[in-house]
Amino acid sequence: MNIAVVGLSHKTAPVEIREKLSIPEPQTESAIAQLTSYPHIDEVAILSTCNRLEIYIVTSETEHGIREVTQFLGEYSKLPVISLRQHLFMLLHEDAVMHMMRVAAGLDSLVLGEGQILAQVKNTHKLGQQYNGIKTILNRLFKQALTAGKRVRTETSIGTGAVSISSAAVELAHMKVENLAACRVAILGAGKMSRLLVQHLISKGAQQIRILNRSRDRALELAKQFPDQPLDIQPLSEMMTVISQSDIVFTSTSATDPILDRAKLEMVLEPSQSLMLFDISVPRNVHADVNELANVKAFNVDDLKAVVAQNYESRRKMAQEAEKILDEEVEAFDVWWRSLETVSTISCLRNKVETIREQELEKALSRLGSEFAEKHQEVIEALTRGIVNKILHDPMVQLRAQQDVEARRRCMQTLQMLFNLDAEEQFS
């Protein structure tokens, strides 16, 4: 069995490609069902965020397993595999394990050290179990990665400053306009990212903030969290009117198609009216054609890279501290994994020797006669058990202690050959 991850991220694919491969939560069940229906995928977990889509698998045939995931990605995105491939990365076993740890710790994020990813990894773990994609091996891997992520957040200072995609977007807006207090700001959406937008906008001095959301209750809930700042709540149906009265618009909804495009803007904006749009959604909420309008400037998540670069330098040192923690967690997973590999050989050997012991014991007891057997059975039983355990003790300890994968496999093969064992790999 091998662990592999196939995916794409902000490091390998632009947002135009990433949004085609975003798997929203309601589609996770069917995606997992399709992936587990392939012949070489034994376990699967799907991590889909604005920065990445990663499919973790456990497979007995790595090459086939990876081909099946790639086929799935091609079908799902409706992109030819040949053009998709240039954006994909693939990592195997130790590299896949380390990658998952780095992702959970926020070290692979666009905004280094952002905290949202840990909750997203947790959700992936939950959904993977709920829809029967995650079994023994991925379960252990996700638990270890979540431990790693939590340790990095509590034992290093990488999470200080509450950085997120939202804070980076506000930072970019601040750089562009300088005086946020004078700007009329609108936010489309009232979810987690919108809440962070409001928080950072307020901290940068914004005073005129309007929230537009599909459901009014969620927007009111958001407003309640900022009792000291009046927030104007509007229904999404008022979107174009509110936009026409705004200088800056942030979009952070989970809509799967653009909700704003050139045609809609043209209808409400005066020809000389300027507008800045900051879209942190993936799939994007703002159609790329808005850039054709002379006075509209639109930015998406990939445009945050410039802001993030400054943040990166100051956090790089903290990331180095975090890497040490990740090494420990990878090692802990590896020890478990190695012990798993030896389980089938050890249990086969035990079964074989135990069967011999029972047969020989039975023969000896029948030769000794029923009177002797009844009187001394316990002692003889304990004697044979003791001999078997003592003989098996050293080979088992030695086998488990083999650190080197190849040396361990050679030991197992030798044991299987010498004792004529038929050790099928078992992981459950």
Ligand X SMILES: NC(=O)c1ccc[n+]([C@@H]2O[C@H](COP(=O)([O-])OP(=O)(O)OC[C@H]3O[C@@H](n4cnc5c(N)ncnc54)[C@H](OP(=O)(O)O)[C@@H]3O)[C@@H](O)[C@H]2O)c1
Q: Which residues are catalytic?
A: 50
Q: Which is nearer to ligand X, 128 or 258 (CB)?
A: 258
Residue appearing with tokens 């632009």: 14
Residue 420 φ/ψ region, left for φ over 0, alpha for ψ in the -120 to 50 degree band, beta for the rest: left
Residue 109 Cβ vs ligand X, minimum distance, rounded to whole Å? 9
**Shortest spacing between CB 31 and ligand X, in angstroms:** 16
**CB 74, min distance to ligand X, A:** 22
- Looking at the Cβ atoms of 81 and 255, the one nearer to ligand X is 255
For the CB of residue 196, give the shortest distance to ligand X in the complex, in Å. 8
Q: How far apart are CB 401 and ligand X at their closest, in Å?
A: 43
Residue 252 or 344: which CB sits closer to ligand X? 252
Instruction: Provide Rg for the chain, Cα atoms.
Output: 29
CB hemisphere CA count around 371 (13 angstroms): 0
- Which residues does 170 contact at the CB level (< 8 Å), separation at least 6? 197, 200, 201, 204
Give whichever of 200 and 408 is closer to ligand X, judged by the CB atom.
Answer: 200
Minimum CB separation of residue 20 from ligand X in Å reads: 13
Helix, strand, coil content of the chain in percent (nearest 5): 60, 15, 25
What the block records as the tokens of 82 is 């040949």
Distance CA 126, CA 116 (A): 16
Nearest residue to ligand X, by Cβ distance, number only: 191
**How is residue 260 annotated by DSSP?**
B
Q: Compute CA distances 81 → 4, 36, 54, whole Å.
A: 18, 20, 16
**Least spacing, CB of residue 400 vs ligand X, in Å:** 41
SS3 at position 72: helix
Contact 36, 44 (CB under 8 A): yes
Choice between 97 and 280, CB closer to ligand X: 280
Residues 6+ apart with CB under 8 A from 65: 2, 4, 38, 40, 41, 57, 59
CB crowding 61-79: b at 16 or more within 10 Å, else e: ebeebbebbbebbbebbeb
Largest CA distance in the chain: 110
Residues that bind ligand X (CB under 6 A): 50, 116, 165, 189-194, 213-215, 218, 236, 252-255, 259, 280-282
Instruction: Evaluate whether 315 touches 113 at the Cβ level (below 8 Å).
Output: yes
Cβ closest to ligand X, residue 51 vs residue 345: 51
